[in-house]
Chains A and B, each alone.
Chain A
Amino acid sequence: SAVISQKPSRDICQRGTSLTIQCQVDSQVTMMFWYRQQPGQSLTLIATANQGSEATYESGFVIDKFPISRPNLTFSTLTVSNMSPEDSSIYLCSATPGQGIETQYFGPGTRLLVL
């Protein structure tokens, strides 16, 4: 299995500012993903973060708004840029170890409130 931690666990931010969320996995993983979960909704995939290459964004999400880094096989960051109240959500980091382990694991999430 993979244990995933996220920082911060929650934050309250002013509109127009940016927040970087860190995701740390306790073992090397092949695939990392960033999801958003808005109140009362299911999970929406923002992007897939591959080590050594640009992240792949889903429709409706752009790199300028949600820049992602994946410097190694255990760590990734998601930045929410120029925030507005509509960005208030839970942001979840996820990883699939690969190499025969296909279960997808999730971090505890980062609760973001934008005022």
Chain B
Amino acid sequence: KQEVTQIPAALSVPEGENLVLNCSFTDSAIYNLQWFRQDPGKGLTSLLLIQSSQREQTSGRLNASLDKSSGRSTLYIAASQPGDSATYLCAVRGSTLGRLYFGRGTQLTVWP
């Protein structure tokens, strides 16, 4: 069974810092990996999706990398802002249109 781990569980930083959130998974035979953001009391917002054949994806200040062979992904947030405060979830999919396996998330707080 696929297991997804996210480190750290929580992170509190002043604004302006560059951040790295880590995600690891036990079964490297994934189809794709998706990073989500969840604000308190809200649903999940998709940030980036990386196919298993890709090494990274970028969107604005966010960059996600994937090393499938070692079972790792990182989400890099540049020049963090208070509006980035949220829980960030990593999820992997084992097959096309299959279910997602989620990590427990990293709770990020960026203070002014």
Contacts and interface: CB of A to CB of B under 8 A. Distances in A.
Contacts of A33: 99-100
Interface residues of A, number: 22
A42 B42 contact: no
A105 B91 CA distance: 12
Q: How large is the interface on B (under 10, 10 to 19, 20 to 34, 35 or more residues)?
A: 20 to 34
Interface of B is mostly: strand
Contact of B102 (A4, A43, A102, A103): A43
A80 interface: no
Contacts of B51: 102
A103 B100 CA distance: 11
Contacts of A31: 97
Majority secondary structure of chain A interface residues (helix, strand, loop or mixed): strand
Interface string A85-98: 00000001010101
Contacts of A111: 41
Given A33-B99, A104-B46, 8 more contacts: A4-B43, A30-B97, A43-B100, A102-B32, A102-B97, A103-B46, A104-B34, A109-B43
12 contacts: A31-B97, A33-B100, A41-B104, A42-B89, A42-B104, A43-B100, A92-B44, A94-B44, A96-B97, A102-B31, A102-B49, A102-B51
